[in-house]
A and B are shown apart, each in its own frame.
Chain A
Amino acid sequence: MTIAKLGYTLLGLFIVWNWGFLMGATFRKIGARLAGRYGIPFYQPWINFFKNIGVRTTITHGVMYYLGPVFRLTGGIGLFFFMPMVFTGDPNGHWTNFSFEGDLILILYFQLFGMLGMALGAGEGGHPYSAMGIARGLAQHAAVELPLTLAFLSIAIQYDTFSVYKIVEAQQGGFQNWVLFTNPFASAAIILAMLGAMGHSPFNLVKAPNEILIGPATEYEGTYLGFMQSAGSILHVMEAVLFMNLVFGGATSWAELIVKTFLIYFWSVFVGMVFPRFKIEQSITWFFKVPLVLGVLAIIVFSF
């Protein structure tokens, strides 16, 4: 690994961090317009971020509480490191980050790193809303995982690999090669399950605004919140990048990445703007219906 590669990777991280903020702002704006309000300026997330990390005083509930945001942000950054971002035809290209260290499975399981650390940190804060949000989040996460896992396995069977890079590589040469068209069942399962992974309405009961404040992060403010916002921003983009790489042919340039992740993200926001929030049991059973069936079909199609 060269210094240049590290530099490019950190640059990519910086791009993703900013892109996450911008996407977040865009969609808050869309939401506001739908609700008949004018909405925030597009640079509001940066203001929030700098204001938060700039506060002079802060509190702590203990060491684990303190480490929660560290876990969360490390989770986001790590996920970025292990994800190939832009396909250039060179498996060790600058924008493939550290994807040589692991494959799709590493990415899937590392997603939990930040989630777990955050859950533990928020737990020490002792706020009931945190625990409620986490309990819901974990239950929903498990339900989302089932169709997603089936779909991922189906794609892995299709291309005989767990390497995200190779999956992207296999989809090059035109949109007709995208998994979206070569493996429609897996894609459909992912597109539906993805809504749960993104955590927008109707699957936003983890944060459940107006109900349990902002769920796990309820007790966090100031610098901690700034870190979490950064983590959230990166994770949002990375979720979208993951689905882009697996289903939508990946990206051969940053511009393509930005367009595709925007559309993927927009899909979950679009649904969220239309459908109201599910209760947890509704959410879980929803994933066990159509997405699960699609996932199983995706496996069956490629098993024989």
Chain B
Amino acid sequence: MISPIHILTIGLGGAFALGFVPKKAKDAAAVIMLAAIALMGVLTGSWLIGLINGDSAQQVFTAGFKPPFSINLLMGLNEGALTTAVNFIGLLGGIYLYKYLKEAGNHAIMVFLIFIMGLNVVIMTRDIFNLFVFLEIVSIATAGLVILTETGKAVQAGFKYMLATGVISGVLLIGIIFAYYYSGTLNIDGLTQAHIGALRGGSVALLMIMVSILLELKTFPANGWGLDVYEGANAGIGAMLSAATATGMYYVLYKLLVMAGPEWNYWIALIGAVSFIGSNVLALKQRSAQRLLGYSSIGQIGLLMIILGFKDILGDNTPYVAFGILFSHYFAKAGLFWLAGIVKQSDIANWAVIRKKPYFLFLMGTFIFALIGFPPFPSFFAKWELVMELVNTGNLPWVVAILFGSMMEAVYLFRWFGYAIKGENENIEDFKIEWNKILPVGIVAIALYVTGYFTAQHTEAGAAINWIPLFFVAAIFILDFLPVFVKNTIAIIGMALYFYNIYPDLDNMRLVFEAIFMIGGILTLIAGYAYKGKRTGFYPVALLMYAGLTAIIEAQTTLQFFFGWELMTAGSYFLIIRGKRSMPHGLSYMLFSVGGAYALLIGLGMAFAGQDSLGMEIINTISYLPYWAYGLLIVGFLTKTAALGLHIWLPGAHGEAESDVSPMVSAILLKAGVFGIVLTLIGMGGESNSYPWLPYALGWLGAITAFSGNLMAVFQEDAKRLLAYSSIGQLGYIVLGMAMMTHLGWLGGFSYVVNHFLYKAVLFLTIGAVVLRVKTHNMYEMGGLIKRMPLAFIAVMIGIIALSGVPPLSGFAGKWLFYNAILEKGWYLQGAIMFFSGGIAFMYLWRLIHTVFLGQLKDNHRNVKEISIWFLIPIYLLLAGIMVYSVKPQWVLQPLGDMIAQWFPDGQLTWDGGTAFTKYGHWAGTAVAVTIIVAFLVVLALLLISTRKAHKVKQFDITYSGERPERPETTHVAYNVFEGLYKAMWIATIPLVETWWNKVTDFLHDTADIVRRIYNGNGQTYIIHIVLFIIVTYFVIIGG
């Protein structure tokens, strides 16, 4: 193995050689630089491979002496990995900056090489003075690279950088001098053995050393200079700072923390937490892309500092967690900085231009999801491990702090991404692609997926993850250039085969949900045939959602469950944001989802506490703060079912989504939340649970949600929003049913699960298809469409009858079961609210069918066609389902009852033929249906006999207000049709929840806006920040 000292040889030799290259041979110079970095990379890479395969670490003693008389370098596993990482990103960065450096001249090329070499040494060195020297080399090189960009901002930033690092170096140097004075050594291991912190006076020396390293890491809030550099420097340099320098400096902190001793762990974690939360909150108001990335980088380093602070608690897992987060950050941040350099838009709103080249959007998405910690990226697994361990060791407040910071990061990153996907981009000039710039971005993106896959394999639970659905998604992504017809067929066949393969392995409860997800998925995909062209991007994300959905059903471990949950969230986010006006709704959906996911994460962490496995069964035996754990799980799942308070994302998200997406996210996706609630309630112990207040609160929440959702639906003018609010209400019923924790309550709940899937899919598909024809969502702009779309009308009619619960259709089963369940449980008031909600539902259902299909046909719709056959097929298949359920309810209710009996054996329905009995009442579904159908046919026959000569009249053959109307607009009663009700009940429609969330976001944004004023751009102020930071840390850590 070549000695690591030769990294210096290569670096210095390369730089020296560059001096001989003629000024005009710029390409030669740049190639020499790349070759030198590549060589360093090969050297460190070969070390890394060797060390992984069991070679022992090597110490390099310079000048032939051992410390403390000479400088020594260490090449261990950590050093091998990190130097390789630095060289790898250095090489990619060099390629990215190829033209830039070439034009800047040989000196700049030299500086870049020295910069990378310096970082290698910073990582390897075991001598603190040597560390100081190479830090200086790196700093000066950085400043040089920053100033290379001849813009005002860059020059100023470079100057401020010099100022700040100068002060920091001074402090570091004084610290080193003191340390040497008190301990007599400069060697890190020597200082460690000497317990420098415990020596008299040594603690101050240590403080100075540690604080200066913290400052070098640009710890919040003494980091204004750093932010200016991130913003002002060339994006390629920014990438190096964020990926390479931060990686190196982080490792320095790790080394010195060992030296500082365990008493420093807490402080590092605390400062990390402040930095993580502070930067991410301040970033909320940020509009400049590169500065935003700067904030995010500083935040991520803060998170990594927390991990370091907990290294004794994380134990052997520390490298796994730290590397998982570090590498996600390293790849993703480099990728984003580079993208920023390609897109060349400072304002995040202008990033809409990126989707003019869709694959760039994909790259950006990859990086952002990796930063937030979505699967399948390494950060997902690392964050999971981190939270599991921290909760397990009772560090809940830290977990909350970490997740709060992550949440803030999600806010601004997804806002930015939202602009990229949906922002206005017509007037923004397209960007050019240069091969040397896109290559590194592509490589880091691929690297993220690959490292993610391998990170998963590292743990037992991760290795058990089923990747087949994801590979299928990837395949569809690659085939995205194909036309809709082909992709749709592949997708349907894929899902059908998958369902066929896994359904025998599922228990009945999971089968119910899997059938809704998969069969529902296939049915809604059929509607996709109605679309023409390529429908770029639709199939990968739709399948991603279904991959997530099936993953949560199949999950054997909580990790797999969470993995699936996050995949589903990602997929559904992309599906939702595809809608024309979906940008704000996509964001709010994502934020509630991320918040909910974090609640789940903590809950699952608490479930893991004290257990030695991650099996799904651990949620049945939570012993650590079980009330909180189950509460958090429920809250997490309620974000998906859009319970009141967590619902504000839903109306816009479902209402603005595409026609075939709305049924996917409404009829199908919401059931994922229900599935989670069912699992949690089973986990709590079913009937004999010892947490009575949770289901009780849940029951009230369900009832109030049902009321609010339904009431809001009544006042909508937009047909799809009406259905969206209706879903909120319907899910409220389901939540109430499940919360009752009785056999009948669950049977009612499950009856609604099945029914809501059927009729909401019918209604959303039909209304969506109508919208495609009439090109408006506003019901008052429609009317009389029964004449043009009779089949759509029939579908909606059956759908609303089923929803309203009017016998003989299937909805009545749910109502009847609920009445019985309510009586048995004694939740009369909740029940009354729910039944009242049913009465309210009747209003919006009538409004929906009347204002769209009945009343007066508009002139511009006189030639509109029946809805697409591709929508009619799934709609009528679903209607067939409703009909079967209606006429033979026992076919559905009996198996559901048997299934539920395993958790709730008491109070089952008793069946006598087709009649169901509870102890309160009875209902013969089939007989009722037959009675009504026979009566209907008899009456119809009578009418037919007596009106044989009915004369068909035209639309305006009525008299109204003394005239024969001629304009449909003046005759169609549709707009604000429930004005009277509004006058009576307006008080219940005040959007308190929305106001509350707005206030919360305003508060955070205002705070960010006020606090970030400390960064006034003045170098002297930044120096004051640094000095204050030192003073404050001194008083806090050493004590006054």
Binding site for B on A (CB under 8 A): 53, 56-64, 66-67, 69-71, 73-74, 77-78, 81-82, 98, 100-106, 109-110, 112-113, 116, 119-120, 123-129, 131-132, 134-136, 138-139, 141-143, 145-146, 149-150, 153-154, 156-157, 160-163, 219, 222-224, 226-227, 279-281, 284-285, 288, 295-296, 299, 303
Contact = CB atoms under 8 A, between A and B. Distances in A.
A145 B835 contact: yes
B939 A74 contact: yes
Nearest to A154: B828
B836 A142 contact: yes
Nearest to B829: A299
A148 B931 CA distance: 26
Given A116-B804, A153-B831, A163-B922, A57 B951 contact: yes
B949 A135 contact: no
Contact of B923 (A103, A132, A136, A153): A103
Contacts of A157: 823, 828
Interface stretch (B18-26, B273-281, B627-635, B846-854): B846-854
B981 A106 contact: no
A165 to B, nearest CB: 10
B951 A59 contact: yes
A78 B978 CA distance: 29
A63 B794 CA distance: 11
A123 B849 contact: yes
Interface residues of B, number: 77
Interface string B946-965: 11011111011110100000
A105 B921 contact: yes
Given A120-B854, A284-B980, A126 B971 contact: yes
10 contacts: A61-B957, A63-B790, A82-B928, A113-B806, A142-B836, A149-B836, A153-B823, A153-B831, A284-B980, A284-B981
B919 interface: yes
A134 B828 contact: no
B940 interface: yes
A102 B928 contact: yes
Question: Chain B: interface secondary structure?
Answer: helix
Interface in B828-880: 828-829, 831-832, 835-836, 839-840, 842-843, 846-847, 849-850, 853-856
Contact of B836 (A109, A145, A227): A145
A128 B971 contact: yes
B723 interface: no
Question: Chain A: interface secondary structure?
Answer: helix
B935 A74 contact: yes
B935 A219 contact: no
B786 interface: yes
B792 to A, nearest CB: 13
A211 B1040 CA distance: 84
Nearest to B942: A227
A224 B846 CA distance: 21
A113 B807 contact: yes
A141 B819 CA distance: 19
A223 B927 contact: no
Contact of A162 (B832, B855, B920, B935): B920
Contact of A60 (B804, B935, B953, B981): B953
B939 A227 contact: yes
A53 B856 CA distance: 28
A85 B677 CA distance: 44
Given A60-B951, A141-B842, A145-B836, A106 B822 contact: no
Contacts, number: 238
B772 interface: no
A239 B953 CA distance: 35
Contacts of B850: 119-120, 123, 131, 134
A143 B714 CA distance: 14
A281 B823 contact: no
A223 B981 contact: no
B953 A146 contact: no
Give 4 nearest A-B pairs by CB, closest first.
A123-B854, A280-B980, A162-B921, A142-B839
Contacts of A222: 947
B836 A119 contact: no
A62 B786 contact: yes
A153 B927 contact: no
Interface of B: 784, 786-787, 790, 793, 797, 801, 804-807, 812, 815-816, 819-820, 822-823, 826, 828-829, 831-832, 835-836, 839-840, 842-843, 846-847, 849-850, 853-856, 915, 919-924, 927-928, 931-932, 935-936, 939-940, 942-943, 946-947, 949-953, 955-958, 960, 971-974, 977-978, 980-981, 983-985
A130 to B, nearest CB: 8
Given A59-B953, A74-B932, A162-B921, 19 more contacts: A58-B947, A60-B951, A62-B787, A66-B947, A66-B950, A82-B928, A101-B924, A106-B928, A110-B807, A116-B842, A116-B846, A119-B846, A120-B797, A126-B855, A136-B980, A145-B836, A153-B832, A295-B832, A296-B829
Nearest to B980: A280
Nearest to A139: B981
A78 B853 CA distance: 27
Given A113-B806, A135-B977, A127 B943 contact: no
Given A78-B935, A146-B836, A103 B919 contact: no
Contacts of A110: 806-807, 932
A64 B846 CA distance: 14
A57 B924 contact: no
Given A126-B958, A145-B835, A161 B946 contact: no
Given A102-B807, A145-B839, A303-B828, A280 B984 contact: yes
Which of A60, A70, A134, A154 has its CB near the most chain B CB atoms (within 10 A)? A70
Contact of A153 (B822, B839, B847, B960): B822
A52 to B, nearest CB: 10
B920 A160 contact: yes
A156 B786 contact: no
A126 B965 CA distance: 10
Contacts of B819: 105, 153, 156, 162
Nearest to B958: A127
A70 B939 contact: yes
A136 B846 CA distance: 12
B846 A138 contact: yes
Contacts of B936: 70-71, 74
A227 B931 CA distance: 19
B957 A59 contact: yes
A105 B958 contact: no
A135 B952 contact: no
B951 A58 contact: yes
Contacts of A139: 843, 978, 980-981, 984
B813 to A, nearest CB: 11
Nearest to A296: B829
A141 B840 CA distance: 9
A139 B812 CA distance: 21
Contacts of B804: 112, 116
A102 B922 contact: yes
Given A74-B936, A106-B816, A131-B850, A150 B920 contact: no
Contacts of B807: 102, 106, 109-110, 113
A272 to B, nearest CB: 20
A268 B923 CA distance: 31
A103 B983 contact: no
Nearest to A222: B947
Nearest to A145: B839
A284 B984 CA distance: 6
A106 B950 contact: no
Contacts of A134: 846, 850
B939 to A, nearest CB: 5
A58 B849 CA distance: 26
Contacts of B983: 280-281
B192 to A, nearest CB: 70
Contact of B931 (A64, A98, A160, A224): A98
A303 to B, nearest CB: 6
